[in-house]
Amino acid sequence: MVTVSNNLIQANALTVKSNAPLSNLLQVGQLLTATIKPLSNNQAQLNIGNQTFIANTKQPVTQSGTVQVKVNQVSPEIKLSITQPQANTSGNSNTPNVAQSAYRQFIPLQAPLSQVFQQINLLQSLPPSLQIPLQQLLDQATKKNLTLNAESLKQKLSDSGLFLESKLASPSKKESSATLKNDLKNQVLQLQQQVSELQQQKPSTSLNKLANLLNQALSRLTVQQVQLFENPLVTPLEMPYESSPNHIKDNIEFRKIQQHKNNQWEAYIDSTLDEGLLSVKLKLSENGNIDCYLWCETETLQDKVVNQLDTLKQALIANDLTVNNIQISAQKPVKTDNSTKMALIDIKI
């Protein structure tokens, strides 16, 4: 029998039945870190090390978290007392539950943003007061970018609606007002409010459809925010983008060749330069030996590459690679027949 009392809340005592001979492991005065979790109105789970106990409580335990307990007695029964209040970690411990609850609520309602805005664009007979804000929203959400660079990508990310709450918490009101103007989620919320007011004044089928579509967009943004909260390293950004005919398409591909003893890797790189196409084939063994074959589309490009071969060799050596061969190929490199294409995420270094 283990009795746990709370020095701060005397009525919140826990009585734990244990099958383990804990008395041989504990000493009077010893401080232990435990985790407490409510199970029902009169039960809680107590974890100490690798031992888990179900405790009967006189009063409900309302928080989950880490506590520090002190051993007051080990015989004939074990008595522990909480020396620190429950840490305010219930929010962290409940984060998965909150996320799952949000997913259950919003995933069934969501729809891809591009699909939502296309359907909004097809709606007819909407009130004139909605025309301007709707057009502003559609221009921002569906206007395709012919010139994509780092600055425009940064701005698109800022206006994506994923960070609305952070902007609202900004100490600078002037800055918040400027950044909120083009925030996608803010625009959807404002339109949603306008539509709700118009529905009360003069309901219509078009308004009902618009309200439903705005709700789908808002649900989609909320799901993306939860995804970003769970995994900050992956940003679920949906951004309309159209490739220009003048855009350069480069390519890199990794392939794995299964050998009898050692694996061998191959990398194929196609890079479009001003002087023409440069194709590179790299063969790398597990012991760090590398072979490099380069094919140049034009003589001008080949002359420039030849002049930089020593620089390339030194760069490879500087990265602890043993250079077996670097040469200009007469033909464009081809992929090895028995090689397997590998995704970047599958490559372990």
Q: What is the CATH number of the domain that holds 33?
A: 2.40.50
Q: What is the pLDDT of residue 228?
A: 84
| Whether residues 111 and 224 fall in one domain | yes
Question: Which residue spans within the chain are E strands per DSSP?
Answer: 2-6, 14-16, 31-40, 43-48, 51-57, 65-73, 78-82, 251-258, 263-273, 276-285, 289-296, 322-328, 339-342
Q: Which residues pair with 35 in a beta bridge?
A: 47, 66
Give domain status of residue 124, yes or no.
yes
| Whether residues 286 and 318 fall in one domain | yes
* Cα 202 to Cα 130: distance, rounded to the nearest angstrom: 14
- What phi, psi does 136 have (nearest 5°)? -65, -45
pLDDT tens digits, 212-267: 999 999 999 998 898 888 777 677 777 665 545 555 667 888 888 776 567 788 88
Q: What is the pLDDT of residue 52?
A: 75
| Whether residues 173 and 261 fall in one domain | no
Residues in the chain: 349
Q: What is the pLDDT of residue 42?
A: 73
Give domain status of residue 46, yes or no.
yes
| Whether residues 67 and 123 fall in one domain | no
pTM for this predicted structure: 0.47
Give domain status of residue 329, yes or no.
yes
Which whole number is the average pLDDT over 284-306?
91
Q: What is the pLDDT of residue 1?
A: 39
For position 310, which CATH number holds? 3.30.750
Which whole number is the average pLDDT over 1-5?
44
How high does pLDDT run on average in the chain? 77
Question: Considering 38, 57, 92, which residue would you say is the last residue of a domain?
Answer: 92
Give domain status of residue 237, yes or no.
no
Give domain status of residue 85, yes or no.
yes
* Cα 196 to Cα 70: distance, rounded to the nearest angstrom: 57
Q: Does residue 139 carry a pLDDT above 70?
A: yes
pLDDT tens digits, 39-51: 876 777 877 766 7
Number of domains in the chain: 3
| Whether residues 219 and 142 fall in one domain | yes
Confidence class of residue 288 from pLDDT cuts 50, 70 and 90? confident
Q: Does residue 345 carry a pLDDT above 50?
A: no
Confidence class of residue 175 from pLDDT cuts 50, 70 and 90? low
Residue numbers of the domain that contains 313: 251-346
Q: What angle do CA 187, 190, 192 make, to 5 degrees?
A: 105
Q: What is the pLDDT of residue 39?
A: 80
DSSP 24: G
Per the listing, tokens 């009077």 go with 28
